[in-house]
């Protein structure tokens, strides 16, 4: 109960086409994450799924049924917003219960469901407070609680963690992962943080300028990016792109190699270069090299290394980890 199907969704605001034909299938119980650069249409797509925005053309199907003319509250969907969007005049209990109350459920049932959700999220102590009397993290938990209480077929999250500080973000991320396991509900989640995407998702859909560039499990996207955009978007630091001509590699236009798939050696190797800058992070060392054969390269080494600026090094890519892209940016298998 909770599969979603998008068929050729298009959305224009006036003359500007924001979504340019989105097709996607989400299975029951799946956790799918939309990532993409700012302004690529993630929130718009989420609003179309929720019914808060009408698609210009295309269909949204939930459990196989077209819901294009069903109002948001009747679609069996709950949404968690980036700005929490709690009702300022209601306390936590009523914030969580309002949806059920509107649906005409009996008081006892509402009270029970609110109690379950607030226990799950550790909100018991705050039930009588107004949103203004809560911290950011607590507010976000109330917003999540408001979604849980309605026991929807489908959860939508629009960048739910982006207003939280780093420590809280990790905690809430774990909580959402736990929630997904416990409720085994279908979830769609928007973020532009790729760590969030890689750690939470069953599958990731990468959006760019209103199109889905690729859909796949995190490891599929990492290991077999379909094109330059995906290759550059997934992985941090970003994949190195080298014009194929400088490497005399016929048949490709661009060659890509991830920073973690390059080894360095002080004596010998394929590309000779000097260190422009070194970042020592403890677990990792990131080197920025200027090489004679391949131009600028980012290299990620595991553990601590003693390299510093102006050292001369030889970098060698792992041959089986080299990606090749054609003139259109498509990956060459």
Partner 1 sequence: MSKARTSPVRSAAAHAILITYTVVALFPVLVIIINSFKERRAIFRSPLSLPNAESFSLIGYDTVLAQGDFLLYFQNSLIVTVMSITGVLLFGAMAAFALAEYRFRGNPLMALYLALGIMIPIRLGTVAILQMMVAGGLVNTLTALILVYTAQGLPLAIFILSEFMKQVSDDLKNAGRMDGLSEYRIFFRLVLPLVRPAMATVAVFTMIPIWNDLWFPLILAPAESTKTITLGAQVFIGQFVTNWNAVLAALSLAILPVLILYLIFSRQLIRGITSGAVK
Interacting residues with partner 1 (CB under 8 A): 47, 50, 52, 71-74, 77-79, 81-89, 98-99, 102-103, 146
CA distances from 109 to 113, 116, 138 (A): 6, 11, 24
97 phi/psi in degrees, rounded to 5: -90, -10
The item of partner 1, ligand ATP, Mg ion, none sharing an interface with residue 192, based on CB under 5 to 8 Å by kind, is ligand ATP
Query: Out of partner 1, ligand ATP, Mg ion, none, which partner does residue 247 contact, by CB within 5 to 8 A per kind?
Result: none
- Residues of span 33-52 touching Mg ion by CB under 5 A: 43
Minimal distance, residue 280 CB to partner 1, in Å: 39
Binding mask 180-219 for ligand ATP (x = CB under 6 A): ------------x---------------------------
Is position 10 an interface residue for ligand ATP (rule: CB under 6 A)? Answer: no
Q: Is 316 exposed, middle or buried (0-12, 13-18, 19+ CB in 10 A)?
A: middle
What totals of helices (H) and strands (E) does the chain contain, helices first? 8, 18
CB neighbours (10 Å) of residue 301?
Answer: 17
To ligand ATP, the closest distance from the beta carbon of 71 in angstroms equals: 19
Rounded to whole angstroms, the maximal C-alpha distance in the chain is: 76
Q: Rounded distance, CA 277 to CA 290, Å? A: 10
* 18 touching ligand ATP, by CB under 6 A: yes
Name the H helices within 184-295.
194-200, 218-223, 228-233
- Write out the binding residues for ligand ATP, residues 35-94 only, by CB under 6 A: 36, 38-44
Q: In the complex, which residues of this chain contact Mg ion (CB under 5 A)?
A: 43
Q: In the complex, which residues of this chain contact ligand ATP (CB under 6 A)?
A: 13, 18, 36, 38-44, 192
């Amino acid at each position: 109960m909770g599969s979603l199907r998008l068929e050729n969704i298009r959305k224009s605001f006036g003359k500007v086409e924001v979504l340019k034909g989105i097709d996607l299938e989400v299975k029951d119980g799946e956790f799918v994450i939309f990532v993409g650069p700012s302004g690529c249409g993630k929130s718009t797509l989420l609003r179309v799924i929720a019914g808060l925005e009408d698609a210009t053309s295309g269909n949204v199907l939930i459990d196989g049924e077209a819901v294009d003319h069903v109002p948001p509250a009747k679609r069996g969907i709950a949404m968690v917003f980036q700005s929490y969007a709690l009702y300022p005049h209601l306390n936590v209990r009523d914030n969580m219960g309002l949806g059920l109350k509107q649906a005409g459920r009996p008081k006892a049932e509402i009270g029970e469901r609110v109690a379950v959700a607030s226990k799950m999220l550790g909100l018991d102590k705050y039930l009588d407070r107004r949103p203004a009397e809560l911290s950011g993290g607590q507010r976000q938990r109330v917003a999540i609680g408001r979604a849980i209480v309605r026991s929807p077929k489908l959860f939508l999250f629009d960048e739910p963690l982006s207003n939280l500080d780093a420590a809280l973000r990790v905690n809430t991320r774990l909580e959402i992962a736990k929630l997904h396991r416990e409720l085994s509900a279908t979830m769609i989640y928007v973020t532009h943080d790729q760590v969030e995407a890689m750690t939470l998702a069953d599958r990731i859909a990468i959006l760019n300028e209103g199109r889905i560039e690729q859909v796949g499990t995190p490891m599929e996207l990492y290991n077999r990016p379909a094109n330059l955009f995906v290759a550059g978007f997934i992985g941090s630091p970003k994949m190195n792109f080298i014009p194929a001509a400088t490497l005399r590699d016929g048949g490709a236009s661009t060659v890509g190699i991830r920073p973690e798939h390059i080894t360095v050696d002080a004596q010998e190797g394929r590309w000779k270069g000097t260190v422009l800058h070194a970042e020592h992070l403890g677990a990792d060392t990131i080197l920025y090299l200027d090489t004679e054969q391949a131009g600028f390269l980012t290299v990620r080494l595991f553990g601590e290394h003693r390299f510093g600026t102006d050292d001369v090094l030889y970098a060698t890519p792992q041959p089986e980890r080299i990606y090749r892209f054609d003139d259109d940016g498509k990956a060459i298998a």
